[in-house]
Amino acid sequence: MTTTSMLTNLRPVGGPGLQDGRPRTVYRANTEESVAPSAYPALAGVVDLRRDDEIERVPHPLGSADGYRGVPLFDPSKTEANAAAVQLEEQYVDWLTRHRSGIAAALRAIAETEGDVLVCCSAGKDRTGVISALLARHWGASMALVGDDYAASADGLAERFARERAVSTDLDATAVAQRCVPEIMTTVIAHVEARWGSVEGYLRWIGLTDAEIGAL
């Protein structure tokens, strides 16, 4: 997909071809305030996974659209793990239980959208990455494809990551946060399947109904 110079991490979840024949296309992206609404594909909905304070600082370019929904993935009542203390795969695995209500809400919002939908967070890598990996695997993507879709953000975010490193006061923590290799997300999905049997088993555990799972 062609992107603007700012909207560099926009693509269909799972990459080209995975969603062919499905009733909707789910896109994933970073969020940048200085992007024209015309830079996006035609969308029936936007599921913004950022916290309210993030949205206030950087309003989404499609924030006034009828289909826009703020659905924070992070539960504000839960203490967040220190990004500098653990690797990303450990953080993401922790989110599966700690922030299960936000994950369920995001997936429900996608299931309820009648048409193409965008899932986004700040960089479009971490929160968006977890939701995208669950969807892609649920749709039948191989582990390799799940990992490759996650790792594709390394190219999409290269300039953003360089800017972050240039102003970082803790390069070690920044390096942890910017890791973007296939093994991170394949480890997470392997954990899902070891604990819950399948992505569908996890979706049921977090409370999605048969109808909601079918609508995904």
DSSP string, 69-136: EE--SS-TTSPPPPTTTS-HHHHHHHHHHHTHHHHHHHHHHHHH-SS-EEEE-SSSSSHHHHHHHHHH
Q: Does 63 have pLDDT greater than 70?
A: yes
Residue 75: the pLDDT is 83
Give pLDDT, residue 2.
40
pTM exceeds 0.95: no
The HSE-up count of residue 120 (CA atoms within 13 Å, CB side) is 30
The pLDDT tens digits for 109-152 are 999 999 999 999 999 999 999 999 999 999 999 999 999 999 99
Please tell me the class of the 11-215 domain: alpha beta
| pLDDT given at position 3 | 46
Residue 78 has pLDDT above 70, yes or no: no
Q: Domain locations in the chain?
A: 11-215
Task: State the pLDDT at residue 155.
Answer: 87
pLDDT at position 25 is 98
Average pLDDT of the chain is 92
14-42 tens-digit pLDDT: 999 999 999 899 999 999 988 999 999 99
Of the two residues 176 and 204, the one the predictor is more confident about is: 204
